[in-house]
Amino acid sequence: MSKSKVIPSSCDDLRGYAEHELVKRGEAPADRHADLLKLVHELQVHKIELEMQNEALREAQADIEDGHRFADLYEFAPVGYLSVAADSRIRLCNRAAASLLDLPGAKLNGQFLAAYVAPDAVSTFNTFLARMFADDGRQSCEIRLLPKHRRRPLVVLIEAVTDREMKMCNLAISDISALKNAEEALREQKEFFRLVAENIDGFIAVLDSQGRRIYNSPSYMRLLGERDTTGSISFADVHPADRGRVEEAFCQTIATGVGQHLEYRFMTKNGDVCLMESHGSVVCDALGQVKYVVVLSRDITERQEAAEKIHHLAFHDLLTQLPNRLTLHDRLQHAMAASKRSGRYGALLFLDLDHFKPLNDAHGHEAGDRLLIEAAQRIVKCVREMDTVARFGGDEFVVMLGELDVDFSASLAQAELVAEKIRAALADPYFLDTVTCAGLTRRVEHRCTASIGVTLFLNHERSLEEVLKSADRAMYQSKAGGRDRVSYAASQ
């Protein structure tokens, strides 16, 4: 509003003011025609009087409009406004306040605000109101209100200032129920996340877009040695051989917004290496940019070891740890394919232990198992690392020799040399520790020779089954010929 001029209220004062204003403007009456000049003078004075009256009217109208605007702002404000006496009697309220208390404003005036306060908050409200009338300045408090027709209370924030002249306290009331509910929901979510993070069978890490640690679950902290890792680069604990692959996966997650799944080796606080499986997911900001990467990991070392053990059991004999029949078939197929490429012969030796059954009958299966284990070890020592020794079943073994020679006779001579070496090794006596029925340990000496059949193969001239049958027939020739000998297939 513009600065107001002091306008005289009476007609005499107004005329005097106009006369004075006319003199200030320098408009003196002319010397001739005194009456005419006097009339002009009167008109000029009257003009100034009208100007001053119009200015006063404009200022009064502006004050009225400002009052209307203030009234509208007060009445239609989204915040509840109340003016209360020291006893909490409501003197004035706007629509928002009436809506919060669920009553028309006309019915609300004259009632006590304390009557709408939740019983457990009345004492707090009365203390707050008394303090407002005792002290100057702005103050605030949070209380629960019980509107007339609502079942659930409202949580409101009251901000107050005291009007000493009017002996009232002006209150601004904001409904913060939704905010309080959101805070409670957030608290519950944090508590839920804390319980999950502390009890999950795995590890949770939150990384920023640079791969720095923002949060580690308690389980992760124990894995890392309880040290404060906030802000550290997470890749530092990855095995050096896998670090580049993990960093590449992380960068791809940041670039695409799609979490990655990978397995890698992780270095623990005591220097051990474990196998970790991790799944990443992203948290984006309002612009859709990746802000955080949440990584859920678990130690799969035992699972991997179990899988490797199962795989080993599937392809190896449980007792002797030699390749089993399934592995033999696979390697024989590969050896036949390699023979086709190189033109070199391969050989298959079929072995059956002689006099094995009497050992089982006399000393039990434990003694027989010990002999089979030692026999397997003796055979392995007689061949090259590239060759295959397999347990075919029972007391039968198969030896596959690969990459012998391009000449049949030379290859047969090489196979014969290995076969005789194996026969001699298996013919040496076995000294086996057994346990008697009384629980005593007893060493048993047993002699067990081997009947061996040999066949050569080249390329796929014969099928895998035919090669096995050929060696098997040759082995039976050794059995029929008196055992402890090597026989060769009639047709190669």
Please indicate, yes or no, if residue 191 is contained in any of the structural domains: no
Based on the fold, state whether residues 330 and 420 are members of the same structural domain. Answer: yes
Based on its alpha-carbon atoms, the radius of gyration of the chain, rounded to whole angstroms, reads 52
DSSP 3: P
User: What pLDDT is attached to residue 158?
Assistant: 85
User: What pLDDT is attached to residue 406?
Assistant: 95
Based on the fold, state whether residues 66 and 85 are members of the same structural domain. Answer: no
Q: In 5-153, at which residue ranges do the beta strands (DSSP E only) sit?
A: 80-84, 90-93, 139-145
Going from the C-alpha of 9 to that of each of 6, 14, 52, 58, the distances in angstroms are 9, 7, 11, 16
75, 95, 111: which is the final residue of a domain?
Answer: 75
Question: Residue 40, exposed/middle/buried by CB under 10 A (0-12, 13-18, 19+)?
Answer: middle
Please indicate, yes or no, if residue 310 is contained in any of the structural domains: no
Based on the fold, state whether residues 478 and 330 are members of the same structural domain. Answer: yes
Please indicate, yes or no, if residue 164 is contained in any of the structural domains: yes
Please indicate, yes or no, if residue 186 is contained in any of the structural domains: no
Where on the phi/psi map is residue 478: left (φ > 0), alpha (ψ -120 to 50), or beta?
Answer: alpha
75, 96, 111: which is the final residue of a domain?
Answer: 75
Please indicate, yes or no, if residue 326 is contained in any of the structural domains: yes
Based on the fold, state whether residues 68 and 93 are members of the same structural domain. Answer: no
Residues facing residue 21 across a β-bridge: none
Based on the fold, state whether residues 34 and 116 are members of the same structural domain. Answer: no
The pLDDT profile of the chain, 492 residues, written as one tens digit per residue, is 444 555 555 556 666 766 666 666 655 544 445 766 776 677 777 777 777 777 777 776 766 655 556 556 777 788 888 889 999 999 888 888 888 888 886 788 888 999 989 999 999 999 998 888 888 678 888 988 888 767 678 888 888 888 878 788 888 988 888 888 999 999 999 888 888 877 877 888 999 999 999 988 888 888 877 677 788 888 988 999 999 999 999 999 999 999 999 999 998 888 889 999 999 999 999 888 999 999 999 999 989 899 889 988 899 999 999 999 999 999 999 999 999 999 999 999 999 999 999 998 888 888 999 999 999 999 999 999 999 999 999 999 999 999 999 999 999 999 999 999 999 999 999 999 887 666 777 888 999 999 999 999 998 888 999 999 999 999 999 999 999 999 999 765
The total domain count for the chain is 4
| Alpha carbon distance 82, 86 (integer Å) | 13
User: What pLDDT is attached to residue 48?
Assistant: 79
| Residue 132 CB neighbour total at 10 angstroms | 22
| Alpha carbon distance 16, 298 (integer Å) | 98
**Cβ-proximal residues to 31 (8 Å cutoff; 6+ apart), any chain:** 37
Based on the fold, state whether residues 403 and 484 are members of the same structural domain. Answer: yes
Based on the fold, state whether residues 58 and 87 are members of the same structural domain. Answer: no
User: What pLDDT is attached to residue 100?
Assistant: 85
Q: Domain containing 122: what range? A: 80-179
| Alpha carbon distance 206, 123 (integer Å) | 45
Q: Is the separation of the CB atoms in 74 and 105 below 8 Å?
A: no
Going from the C-alpha of 96 to that of each of 148, 280, 363, the distances in angstroms are 15, 48, 100
Going from the C-alpha of 336 to that of each of 86, 329, 366, 407, 414, the distances in angstroms are 106, 11, 37, 16, 18
Indicate which CATH number applies to the domain containing 471.
Answer: 3.30.70.270
Based on the fold, state whether residues 382 and 480 are members of the same structural domain. Answer: yes
* Residue in the structure block whose two tokens are 């590890």: 203
Please indicate, yes or no, if residue 1 is contained in any of the structural domains: no
304, 326, 351: which is the final residue of a domain?
Answer: 304
Based on the fold, state whether residues 52 and 173 are members of the same structural domain. Answer: no
Indicate which CATH number applies to the domain containing 222.
Answer: 3.30.450.20
| Among 186, 189, 88, 85, residue whose Cα is nearest residue 143 | 88
How many helices (H) and strands (E) are present in the chain, helices listed first? 14, 17
How large is the greatest C-alpha to C-alpha distance in the chain, in angstroms?
173
Based on the fold, state whether residues 285 and 380 are members of the same structural domain. Answer: no
Q: Is the dihedral of CA 96, 98, 101, 104 positive or negative?
A: negative
| Residue 451 CB neighbour total at 10 angstroms | 24
Output the six-digit token pair for 426.
Answer: 């298996």
Residues facing residue 351 across a β-bridge: 397, 452
User: What pLDDT is attached to residue 2?
Assistant: 46
What predicted TM-score, i.e. pTM, was given to this entire model?
A: 0.56
Please indicate, yes or no, if residue 238 is contained in any of the structural domains: yes
User: What pLDDT is attached to residue 217?
Assistant: 86
Residues facing residue 160 across a β-bridge: 139, 171
Based on the fold, state whether residues 223 and 328 are members of the same structural domain. Answer: no
User: What pLDDT is attached to residue 397?
Assistant: 98
Based on the fold, state whether residues 116 and 174 are members of the same structural domain. Answer: yes
Residues facing residue 313 across a β-bridge: none
Please indicate, yes or no, if residue 398 is contained in any of the structural domains: yes
